[in-house]
Each structure stands twice: as C-alpha cells, then as structure tokens.
Amino acid sequence: MDRQKIKCLMILFIHLVLIAAINAQQPGGEMFELAKMKSGVKNRRISSTDPTGGNRDHLEPFKPGEKRTIAEIKGTGVINHIWITIAPPPGELSRNDIIIRMYWDGNDYPSVESPIGPFFGQGWNEQYNYASLPLSAGPGNGTGLSCYFAMPFEKGARVEIENQTDKTINAFYYYVDYLEMAKLPEGTGRFHAWYNHKLTEALPEGETEWSLVGPQKTNTTGERNYVFIQTKGKGHFVGINYYVHCPTPMWYGEGDDMWFIDGEKMPSLIGTGTEDFFNTSWCPKEPFSHPHFGYPRVNNDMGWLGRTHVYRFFINDPIFFETEIKGTIETGHNNNLTLDLATVAYWYQESAVELPPAPSKEARTPKPFINHMDIHRWRDAWRKAKGNDPQLWGNE
C-alpha cells in the first residue's frame, strides 16, 4: 500500500473516531447512557472456569454428535456478552460444523441457530480477524469470538452447543455474562439469528451478467431471490453477515436487495446492487472495517473469483415490520449466477418464534476453490468448441 493511501486511511480513521467521541457525549449517546445509575440489576456469569480452582478452564472434550448446554439461566434478565474460543483451530476442526443454539422463555425450539463460525463472523472453515460493533473474531487471527448483542428473556434462557464435526472438540472456553433483574423494560423484544445457505442456480439462458453472453432480463417481483430472513410477528431487522463464494471471475454483486414487509406482494424497499446494500461501491475487493459495515475477507484470486465476506448492521436504521417480513437479495442481476451463498440474519421480535428449518451439514458443506488448472480446462473446452485452431488466443 502506498504512503498516500495510508495517509488517507489514517485521516478517515481519525475523523470517524472524533465523530464517535462527539456523538457519544450527547444526551442519548452510549457514553451518556453509561453514566446513568441503574437499580435492581445484578451481574451474573456462567463460564468454563475450572471448578476446582485449577487452570483447566475449559469444558472437557466432547465427541462428534454430542450436545452440551453451556448456560441454563432461570428467571428474568439479559445476556449482554458472550465470548468463546475453541481448540483445535479451523483446518483441524470446522467451525462451520459446530452449532450454537439459544432458547428463550422455556421454549423447546431455538430462536438462534447457526454454525458458530458464521454467527460470529467467520465464514466457511476459515479464520481471520473481524471487527464490528456487535460481533468480533480475534485476535489472534480470528480465534476469539465475541458477541455484544443484547439478548433479553423473561422466563429463563439456555445456550446449547452441538458438535456436528467428525472430530472431538478438545477444549471449549466460554463466558456467558448476563444481567439479572426482576422485570424487563416494557416492549423488550427477543433476539433471533438464523443461518441460511444455498447453491444458487443460473438462468436457463446462462450467466448473463453485464450482457456478456446474452441479453439481461428484468426482475421486478423478486422471484427466485435468495431469502435471508422470513418471519411473522412484530419486530425489527438489525443485521446480516453475508458469505459468498463465486466460481467465476465475473462480478457477483449486481443483485439488488428486495424487502417484502407486512404481507406485501411487491417489494417496498429495493436496492441498487449488493455492494450498495452493504454501504460500499464499485465492485470492491479490499478489506475494510467500520462498526456497522465492512469487508473483513476478500478474494485474492482473478477478478471476483473466490470467497468474500461482507457485513452490515442496522444499528441506527433498523428495518421495522408489524406483522411479517421477508428480506431477499438477487444472486447477480435477475438471479443469473451460480453462487455458493450463506448468510446469518439478526433481528428482534416481540416474542420468541421458531426459526425456519436449518440447512443440513451436507447442504452447507463449502464448495471447493476454482483454481488455475480448472481455468485451463475451461480454455481447452473453449478451444475445441471453436474448432481447435492452433492460434486461438482467448477472446475471439
């Protein structure tokens, strides 16, 4: 990175810090709220601390297929912090196949269900540093997983971990911090998080992005869009982690977000492109982190071939719904691309609800990388389709 770009980034960073510091001191700001005295609130913690007072501060190993309840809380309160780290690390033990579930108010169904890596901002079975306002991973290198979403409950809470890998979890360290209180403030919703995954389908006429191989058609109805949230009830949507593996060097992000709120047949909120939905622009592929949005992992392959992780949290601008919501996004313009796409959506509802069925372990298995040898095979097939002239170049 050249010195001019570093200087510009430093100026931007200082500017953001100053704005945050000024806003934090205003009435209603976080730091102002922090100064207010509270009554009837008691801090509680459940952790993996060694009960003997020794230094084996982790759960004993648990085997493939085993479930563990790491926190069971009675009464009323709010979970306000979760921290987790696991051994062995990614590569040896897939965090895409360790499931975290959370149950509120004595329900026998979870209102949070996701692979633990994607929930905390780690896609596929990878590790990298990630920092946002409510969630983070790292240091070092994405191994410390933290969550600061407020998770209220009135009649108890339970946090469960399931090992769906084929390896033993040797060590599982955690904190679950919560506030114990007699009564929740009126109108307090329940936290939800849902993981979805899909290998999307190209159009019958092909992957027509940018009209390179055929004319593009329109999409006004949202039919065939990828769905990242669908629920009934009253609430508000507050964020998304978006993990896309693109098997072509073509730009993956011409897809618009489309929102169907309170039973709408046609979307009332429509975007202008995937990168625009995530507050970025012009097909980016550089790491960027902001408290509310960013690109913590970008592909380093040709064009946009490979894996990219994007996030956006709607902290100051939640999307509200009274009776139901369906949040969708196109997979390329008019859903013309084959993409390996996974998301975790985060929202609050008036009461805890059951989530849509979770993708199976087999369904969410990451697709392999496309490499230079695959591209050479594509070239060979193209040459033969073009008559196998010995001087074919590649863009005839």
- The 10s digit of each residue's pLDDT in 223-257 is 999 999 999 999 999 999 999 999 999 999 999 99
| CATH topology match: 40-188 vs 203-386 | yes
Q: What is the pLDDT of residue 2?
A: 53
Q: Does the pLDDT at position 332 exceed 50?
A: yes
| CATH superfamily of the domain spanning 40-188 | Protein of unknown function DUF2961 (2.60.120.1390)
| Least confident residue range of 28-37, 80-89, 260-269, 322-331 | 28-37
Q: Mean pLDDT across the stretch 153-168?
A: 97
Q: Does the pLDDT at position 8 exceed 60?
A: no
Is the link from the previous residue into 140 a cis peptide, with omega within 30 of 0?
A: yes
Higher pLDDT, 2 or 39: 39
Q: What is the pLDDT of residue 31?
A: 81
CATH tag, 203-386? 2.60.120.1390
Where residue 282 falls among pLDDT bands split at 50, 70, 90?
very high
Alpha-carbon separation of residue 358 from 154, 242, 245, 344 (angstroms)? 26, 16, 20, 11
| Cβ–Cβ < 8 Å for 127, 317 | no
Q: CA nearest 42: which of 85, 73, 7, 6?
A: 73
Q: What is the pLDDT of residue 13?
A: 47
Q: Name residues whose C-beta falls within 8 Å of residue 80's C-beta, 6 or more positions apart in sequence.
A: 148, 150, 151, 177, 178, 179
241 SS3 class: strand
Q: Does the pLDDT at position 274 exceed 60?
A: yes
| Cβ–Cβ < 8 Å for 307, 252 | no
Domain locations along the chain: 40-188, 203-386
Q: Mean pLDDT across the stretch 114-142?
A: 95
Where residue 140 falls among pLDDT bands split at 50, 70, 90?
confident
Q: What is the pLDDT of residue 300?
A: 82
Q: What is the pLDDT of residue 30?
A: 73
Question: What distance in Å separates the CA atoms of residue 221 and residue 84, rounded to the nearest whole number?
Answer: 41
**How confident is the prediction for the chain on average, in pLDDT?**
92
Q: Does the pLDDT at position 16 exceed 70?
A: no
Q: Does the pLDDT at position 155 exceed 70?
A: yes
* 128 Cα distance to chain centroid: 14
| Cβ–Cβ < 8 Å for 240, 346 | yes
Q: What is the pLDDT of residue 49?
A: 96
Maximum Cα interatomic distance, the chain, rounded to a whole number of Å: 82
Q: What is the pLDDT of residue 23?
A: 53
Q: Mean pLDDT across the stretch 322-341?
A: 98
- pLDDT digit string, tens, across residues 92-118: 999 999 999 999 999 999 999 999 999
Q: Does the pLDDT at position 11 exceed 50?
A: no
Where residue 346 falls among pLDDT bands split at 50, 70, 90?
very high
Q: Mean pLDDT across the stretch 261-283?
A: 97
Query: With pLDDT > 70 as the criterion, what percentage of the chain qualifies?
Result: 93
Question: What distance in Å separates the CA atoms of residue 62 and residue 257, rounded to the nearest whole number?
Answer: 41
